Amino acid sequence: MLTDIFVTKLGMTQAWTKSGKRLAVTRVKVGHNNVISKTEISVLDKNSTKRDTLPCTILEVGYGTKKLKNMTKPLRTRLEKSGFSNGVAKIRGVRMYEGAADVTIGDTITVDKVLEIGDVVKVQGITKGRGFAGGVKRWGFHGGPKTHGQSDRHRAVGSIGAGTTPGRVWSGKKMPGHYGNVAKTVTGLVVIHIDADSGEVWLSGPVPGSIMTDLKISKTGRNKAIEIDRVASSLPKVEVAEEVATENTESEA
């Protein structure tokens, strides 16, 4: 079964539970996740003590939109042979251990094939780049004293040495430097809303990156029920949609 899908961050909003608790919510959108290729491999079974292997299928997934003529010729040729008329912005690989036979080259992975409301997921992305930052912003240092001779050292790191022994600065010392623009994974987020028509998904919590950042959502295999007040959260009622479907069926009959 598929456990990974690539999305784009739209921004943040808020939702309310039925108990009155407010949740910070991230809105993401599932775009075109197209299967470009399939490769069968064997991977080491982590649960085995005898170095047994498991069959695994690597799916090459292309997502995002890009003009086909703007892609490199080798990749453009591959896409054309696979039957794609449009290009893709990025290509990533995902693993499948079960159900790979149901996925064929050219298939589009939609949100309802991967996620369900209540799924606990982890989100991988690139954090916002903040350039060169000092110790206060980068590591949360409190700074030095404001008085007793201090004039321009309020935000300085201070002493970094360790005396005659070891006579050097330890590797990994927290110091000023480049901050952000690194890969980060946030775990324990819960899917609280899915719009299959538009591909929009609401996640309970913040995720790395700025607006329009590409993210990877991976299921953890766990579920957590969060009762959302759909009226207070400005979400359509599920019961209304079911009633409309029932009315349409009765009118057709």
**82: CATH:** 2.40.30.10
Residue 209 lies in a domain: yes
Least confident span in 41-45, 90-94, 234-238: 234-238
Query: Does 149 have pLDDT greater than 80?
Result: yes
Residue 252's pLDDT band, with cuts at 50, 70 and 90, is low
Q: Which residues contact 47 (CB under 8 A, 6 or more apart)?
A: none
pLDDT tens for each residue of 99-116: 777 888 888 889 988 999
- Share of the chain residues as helix, strand and coil, in percent rounded to the nearest 5: 15, 40, 45
Of 152, 126, 130, the residue nearest 139 (C-alpha): 130
Residue 139 lies in a domain: yes
Residue 163 lies in a domain: no
Q: What is the pLDDT of residue 219?
A: 93
Residue 41 lies in a domain: yes
Domain count, the chain: 1
What separation in angstroms does the CA of 240 have from each of 8, 192, 236, 243, 248? 29, 18, 8, 5, 12
Cα separation, 99 vs 147, in Å, equals: 67
CB 155 within 8 A of CB 134: yes
Give the whole-number percent of the chain exceeding pLDDT 70.
93
Cα separation, 95 vs 76, in Å, equals: 24
The torsion angles phi and psi of 81, rounded to 5 degrees, stand at -65, -30
- Mean pLDDT over each residue of the chain, to the nearest integer: 88
Query: Does 240 have pLDDT greater than 60?
Result: no
Q: What is the pLDDT of residue 253?
A: 53
Q: Which residues contact 193 (CB under 8 A, 6 or more apart)?
A: 15, 117, 200, 201, 202, 228, 233, 235
Residue 238's pLDDT band, with cuts at 50, 70 and 90, is low
- Give mean pLDDT, residues 120-134: 97
Residue 203 lies in a domain: yes
Residue 244's pLDDT band, with cuts at 50, 70 and 90, is very low
Q: 225 or 85: whose pLDDT is higher?
A: 225
- Give mean pLDDT, residues 39-55: 82
Residue 49 lies in a domain: yes
Residue 178's pLDDT band, with cuts at 50, 70 and 90, is very high
Residue 70 lies in a domain: yes
Q: 84 or 176: whose pLDDT is higher?
A: 176
- Give mean pLDDT, residues 68-84: 87
Q: Give me the domain span that covers residue 27.
A: 4-146+175-252
Residue 9 lies in a domain: yes
Q: Which residue has the tokens 């064929």?
A: 104
CB 59 within 8 A of CB 35: yes
Q: 101 or 18: whose pLDDT is higher?
A: 18
